[in-house]
């Protein structure tokens, strides 16, 4: 994990001329006409190609980075990356000055070109985004990093392109922490795992000796809080991803669970169960001061802060059934916000602050949905046999969650997988993982 902190130097080659941008991608609706975009393989000269092959054992790194970008764009559902077999212009020529007629002939509306080189053992990647119809450059940037981080370069390029074309921050240079699952349903082995948002670079952070659940990133994505059954005592833990150091949060005489960080990363909020009653507590990580936030003889759990830290949404069965509530961060002003038919759980505040995502159980089906913070405007995005635990992309446009399959009469056929869906309710996708997976948590943007 020692290469977690990598520094990517950003050099702006040309300032984008924003005044006459023509291409715009609207991400507020389901996009039925994804924008045709050509991602030309990034070119490198003979010498760099040879050195890169020696360094990384990759034949054509420019092509690989272009594929990272292309696959990212495709998964958004907003772009339609064109088949490179149709490209007429060579990568090196295109990067200098595209022949726009050649690209509009294959119906590309936007074009990405670039160059890869190895300079003083550092990988240097530059790229340009072109508006094919207007015949203009929209963006040009260069990055320098250690060669091993070449996939991240592809993700950062995607973030820049996405931001330029949609007007919103991307979510590609991010990681997902989740629980990897193996073995039969009655004896699952669970490990903490972390991977890039596109499913690459999976690393396992625990060995599977004890049950682990519900990992969540801190705001800088360097720490994780999660539940571990270490020594058969279910407690909330902290894990420093870089150093691997783990520690228990607080000294509670019983189970602590459902942890999340506060938006400033200074506190962990969680449930503590005592004598059959679960209430919400916080612990300040520096002063170690524990505060009780709710005090009610019902189950209060799954707390999540609003992005400004002023409010907490949580899940309680104080009305007799599981419903969603909000309160001030000191526990005052508790107010129920879910009033629809069915049970509501796992509320998570959107990073934009305006919505709360949740799991709903109604008539034997599970839904992932969103509602406004006053409980109005409920929208159910997806229905299935079992799914829960949504986590927001850092730009608040995509939700990742996990889904379990129904077993057959013999109890066979169980699986747990990660899925993502756009806030629009469109673009539902299986997220690739090496093993079965559950409890995903999306990191913040790692660069910038």
Q: Is 158 in the site for another protein (CB under 8 A)?
A: no
| Positions in 351-370 near another protein (CB under 8 A) | 359, 361, 364
Q: Are the CB atoms for 427 and 204 separated by under 8 Å?
A: no
Cα–Cα nearest to 415, from 178, 181, 176: 181
Single out the residue of 411, 415, 434, 448 in contact with another protein (rule: CB under 8 A): 411
**Near another protein by CB under 8 A, which window of 28-36, 313-321, 371-379, 420-428?**
313-321
Least distance to another protein from the beta carbon of 283, Å?
17
Q: Quick one: which segment of 60-68, 75-83, 167-175, 385-393 binds another protein (CB under 8 A)?
A: 385-393
Contacting another protein within 315-354 (CB under 8 A):
315, 317, 321-322, 343, 345-346
Segment near another protein (CB under 8 A); pick from 36-44, 145-153, 270-278, 440-448: 270-278
Task: Characterize 95-122 residue by residue with b for buried, 16 or more Cβ atoms within 10 angstroms of its Cβ, and e for exposed.
Answer: beebebebbeeeebbbbbbbbbbbeeee
Among 53, 84, 188, 266, binds another protein (CB under 8 A): 188
Nearest distance from residue 396's CB to another protein, in Å? 22
Instruction: Tell me whether residue 146 or residue 255 sits nearer to another protein (CB atom).
Output: 255
Q: Is 231 in the site for another protein (CB under 8 A)?
A: no
Q: Is 439 in the site for another protein (CB under 8 A)?
A: yes
The CA distances from residue 407 to 40, 224, 385, 386, in Å, are 45, 32, 11, 11
CA distances from 27 to 101, 232, 350, 399, 444 (A): 28, 46, 16, 14, 20
292 near another protein (CB under 8 A):
no
In this structure, what are the phi and psi dihedrals at residue 93, rounded to the nearest 5 degrees?
-70, -45
According to the binding rule CB under 8 A, does residue 72 interact with another protein? no
Contact region with another protein (CB under 8 A), list: 76-84, 85-93, 124-132, 255-263: 255-263
Stretch that binds another protein, among 81-89, 115-123, 244-252, 407-415 (CB under 8 A): 407-415
Closest contact distance (angstroms) between CB of 356 and another protein is 15
Helices 150-166 & 61-76 angle (0-180, nearest 10) = 40
Please say which residue, 18 or 364, places its beta carbon nearer to another protein. Answer: 364
The residues, ordered by sequence, that sit 6+ positions from 291 with a Cβ below 8 Å of its Cβ are: 281, 282, 283, 284
234 lies in the site for another protein, by CB under 8 A: yes
Contacts of 263 (CB under 8 A, 6+ apart): 219, 305, 306, 307, 308, 309
- Token look-up 């950003």 returns 10
Distances (CA, A) of 221 to 56, 85, 156, 190, 194: 27, 39, 16, 21, 11
Does 186 bind another protein (CB under 8 A)? Our answer is yes
Q: 191, 188, 218, 189: which is closest to 204 by C-alpha?
A: 191
Site membership for another protein, residue 414 (CB under 8 A): yes
Of 92-100, 101-109, 384-392, 423-431, which part binds another protein (CB under 8 A)?
384-392
- Distance, in Å, from the CA atom of 201 to the CA atom of 6, rounded to the nearest integer, reads 15
Angular region, 292: left φ>0, alpha ψ -120 to 50, beta rest = beta
Taking the C-alpha atoms of residue 152 and residue 74, their distance in angstroms, rounded to an integer, is 17
The span of 137-145, 208-216, 284-292, 324-332 binding another protein (CB under 8 A) equals 208-216
**Binding residue for another protein, selected from 137, 196, 404, 422, defined by CB under 8 A:** 404
Return residues touching another protein (CB under 8 A): 184-188, 211, 213-214, 227, 232, 234, 254-255, 257-258, 271, 273, 275-278, 299, 301-302, 315, 317, 321-322, 343, 345-346, 359, 361, 364, 385-386, 388-389, 404, 406-407, 409, 411-412, 414, 438-439
């Amino acid at each position: 994990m020692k290469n977690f902190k990598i520094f990517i130097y950003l050099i702006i080659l040309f300032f984008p001329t924003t005044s006459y941008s023509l291409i715009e991608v609207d991400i507020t609706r389901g996009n039925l006409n994804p924008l045709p975009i050509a991602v030309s393989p990034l070119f490198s000269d003979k010498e760099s190609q040879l050195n890169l092959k020696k360094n990384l054992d990759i034949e054509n790194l420019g092509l690989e980075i272009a594929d990272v970008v292309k696959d990212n764009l495709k998964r958004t559902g907003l772009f339609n990356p064109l088949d490179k077999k149709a490209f007429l212009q060579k990568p090196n020529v295109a990067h200098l000055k595209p022949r726009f007629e050649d690209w509009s002939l294959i119906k590309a509306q936007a074009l990405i070109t670039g160059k890869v080189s190895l300079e003083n053992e550092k990988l240097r990647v530059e790229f340009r985004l072109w508006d094919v119809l207007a015949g203009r450059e929209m963006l040009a940037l260069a990055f320098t990093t250690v060669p091993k981080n070449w996939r991240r370069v592809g993700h950062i390029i995607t973030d820049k392109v996405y931001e330029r074309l949609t007007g919103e921050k991307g979510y590609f240079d991010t990681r997902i922490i989740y629980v990897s699952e193996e073995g039969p349903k009655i004896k699952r082995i669970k490990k903490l795992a972390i991977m890039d948002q596109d499913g690459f670079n999976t690393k396992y952070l625990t060995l599977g000796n004890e049950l682990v659940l519900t990992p969540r990133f801190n705001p800088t994505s360097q720490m994780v809080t999660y539940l571990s059954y270490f020594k058969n005592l279910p407690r909330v833990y902290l894990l420093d991803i870089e150093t691997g150091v783990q520690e228990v949060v607080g000294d509670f005489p019983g189970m602590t669970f459902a942890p999340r960080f506060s938006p400033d990363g200074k506190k962990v909020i969680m449930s503590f169960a005592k004598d059959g009653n679960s209430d919400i507590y916080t612990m300040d990580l520096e002063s170690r001061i524990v505060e009780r936030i709710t005090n009610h003889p019902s189950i209060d759990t799954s707390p999540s802060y609003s992005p400004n830290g002023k409010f907490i949404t949580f899940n309680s069965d104080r009305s007799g059934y599981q419903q969603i509530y909000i309160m001030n961060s000191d526990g005052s002003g508790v107010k129920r916000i879910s009033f629809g038919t069915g049970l509501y759980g796992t509320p998570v505040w959107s990073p934009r602050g305006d919505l709360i995502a949740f799991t709903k159980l109604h008539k034997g089906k599970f839904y992932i949905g969103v509602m406004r913070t006053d409980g109005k405007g409920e929208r159910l995005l997806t229905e299935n046999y079992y799914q829960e635990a949504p986590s927001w992309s850092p730009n608040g446009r995509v939700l990742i969650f996990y889904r379990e399959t129904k077993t057959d009469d013999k109890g066979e056929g169980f699986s747990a997988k990660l899925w993502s869906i756009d806030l629009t309710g469109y673009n539902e996708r299986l997220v690739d993982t090496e093993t079965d997976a559950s409890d995903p948590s999306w990191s913040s943007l790692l660069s910038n």
